[in-house]
Amino acid sequence: MLDIKWIREHAAELQEIADQKGIDVSLSDLLMWDQKRRNLLQEMEQLRQNRNALTGAIHAAMQQGGKTEAQTLKQKVKENNSRLEEAQRVWREAVDHFNRLMLLVPNPVSPDTPRGSSDQDNVMVRSFGKAPEFPFTPKDHVQLGQLHGMIDIARGVKTAGSRNYYLTGDGFWLHRAVQQLALDVLVRKGFTCMEVPLMVGTEAMVHTGFFPLGEDQSYRIAGEDRWLVGTAEVPLISYYSGDIVDVACPIRAASASVCFRSEVGSAGRDTTGLYRVHQFSKVEQVVLCRNDAALSEQLLQEITANAEEILQLLELPYRVMAVCTGDMSQKTYKQYDIETWMPSRGSYGETHSSSNLLDFQARRSNIRYRDEDGKLEYCHTLNNTAVATPRILIPLLENHQQEDGSIYVPRALRPYMGGRTKLVPPAAESSNPETIMS
Q: What is the pLDDT of residues 370-387, one digit of tens each?
A: 999 999 999 999 999 999
pLDDT, residue 65, reads: 74
Tens-digit pLDDT profile for residues 145-191:
999 999 999 999 999 999 999 999 999 999 999 999 999 999 999 99
pLDDT, residue 266, reads: 66
Checking if the pLDDT of 411 tops 50, the result is yes
Average pLDDT over residues 346-361: 98
pLDDT confidence bin for 1, thresholds 50/70/90 = confident
Q: Is the pTM of this model over 0.75?
A: yes
pLDDT, residue 427, reads: 74
Average pLDDT over residues 22-33: 98
Checking if the pLDDT of 437 tops 50, the result is no
- Of 412, 438, 410, the C-alpha closest to 423 is 438
pLDDT, residue 267, reads: 62
Kindly list the distances between the CA atom of residue 241 and the CA atoms of 105, 196, 212, 366, 381, in Å, as whole numbers in the listed order: 21, 14, 18, 6, 12
Tens-digit pLDDT profile for residues 58-95:
888 888 877 788 889 899 999 999 999 999 999 999 99
Average pLDDT over residues 22-27: 97
pLDDT, residue 430, reads: 57
pLDDT confidence bin for 215, thresholds 50/70/90 = very high
Kindly report the three-state secondary structure assignment for every residue of the chain: CCCHHHHHHCHHHHHHHHHHHCCCCCHHHHHHHHHHHHHHHHHHHHHHHHHHHHHHHHHHHHHCCCHHHHHHHHHHHHHHHHHHHHHHHHHHHHHHHHHHHHCCCCCCCCCCCCCCCCHHHCEEEEEECCCCCCCCCCCCHHHHHHHCCCEEHHHHHHHHCCCCCEECCHHHHHHHHHHHHHHHHHHHCCCEECCCCCEEEHHHHHHCCCCCCCHHHCEECCCCCEEECCCCHHHHHHCCCCCECCCCCCEEEEEEEEEECCCCCCCCCCCCCCCCCCEEEEEEEEEEECCCHHHHHHHHHHHHHHHHHHHHHCCCCEEEEECCHHHCCCCCCEEEEEEEEECCCCEEEEEEEEEECCCHHHHHHCCEEECCCCCEEECEEEEEEEEEECCCHHHHHHHCECCCCCEECCHHHHHHCCCCCEECCHHHHHHCHHHHHC
pLDDT, residue 301, reads: 98
Checking if the pLDDT of 263 tops 90, the result is no
pLDDT, residue 431, reads: 54
Judging by beta carbons within 10 Å of its beta carbon (0-12, 13-18, 19+), is residue 158 exposed, middle or buried?
exposed
Enzyme catalytic residues: 261, 276, 350, 353, 391
> In the chain, what are the domains?
4-102 (1.10.287.40), 119-433 (3.30.930.10)
Share of residues in the chain with pLDDT > 90 (%): 90
